[in-house]
């Protein structure tokens, strides 16, 4: 078991996956984030952890972000965006939350692997992270990693990519971002 060999396999998988993401799909979601009053995030398990990282980073950019379920969660409105992270697009909790968000006329963006999932019924935007699924879809990146690690890693990097796109587009002073960083640490 060699660290360098395993690390190289993981980095290669991530690179191949990120190269397979549609720039047009990402631009649509980045624009939706910029237009929203508040951006809500929902997912489960390790996907939720990646989404929490994205929410925190966007908050550093001055975006009003909310993780569904947090104790201070406000009401979602027609001026808001819900970002759903679900590789399969079939996870019960994110599906229920997306359905509920549509009842309040919020926009929904699904980031997942399966473009033809049940989530398709609720999503206004979709970004496909082309990782291996049980469905063996076209152009899937296979992984040597356990479970859905490649999806979760790529999701977090996608969020950081969108954040950097917003920084460059809005010519945000990187040093000035520290004013949004937690200071009760």
Q: Which of 23, 78, 152, 185 is catalytic?
A: 152
| Residue 152 appears among annotated catalytic residues | yes
Question: What distances in angstroms separate CA 119 from CA 100, 135, 144, 167, one per listed residue?
Answer: 12, 16, 27, 30
Q: Name which of 118, 105, 112, 120 is nearest 47 in CA terms.
A: 112
Q: Name which of 6, 8, 41, 17 is nearest 154 in CA terms.
A: 17
Whether 53 and 166 have beta carbons less than 8 Å apart is answered as: no
Q: How many C-beta atoms surround the C-beta of residue 17 within 10 A? A: 24
Catalytic residue list: 152
């Amino acid at each position: 078991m060699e660290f360098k060999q395993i690390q190289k396999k993981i980095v290669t998988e991530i690179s191949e996956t990120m190269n397979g993401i549609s720039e047009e799909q990402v631009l649509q979601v980045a624009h939706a984030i910029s237009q929203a009053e508040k951006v809500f995030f929902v997912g489960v398990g390790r996907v939720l952890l990646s989404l929490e990282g994205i929410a925190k980073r966007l908050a550093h950019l001055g975006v009003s972000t909310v993780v569904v379920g947090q104790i201070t969660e406000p009401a979602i409105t027609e001026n808001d965006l819900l970002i759903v992270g679900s590789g399969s697009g079939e996870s019960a909790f994110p599906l229920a939350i997306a359905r509920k968000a549509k009842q309040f006329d919020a926009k929904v963006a699904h980031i997942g692997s399966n473009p033809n999932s049940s989530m398709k019924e609720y999503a206004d935007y979709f970004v496909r992270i082309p990782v291996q699924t049980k469905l063996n879809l076209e152009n899937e990146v296979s992984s040597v990693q356990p479970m859905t690690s490649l999806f979760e890693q790529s999701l977090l990097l996608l969020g950081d990519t969108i954040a950097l796109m917003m920084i460059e587009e809005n010519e945000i002073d990187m040093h000035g971002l520290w004013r949004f960083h937690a200071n009760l640490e």
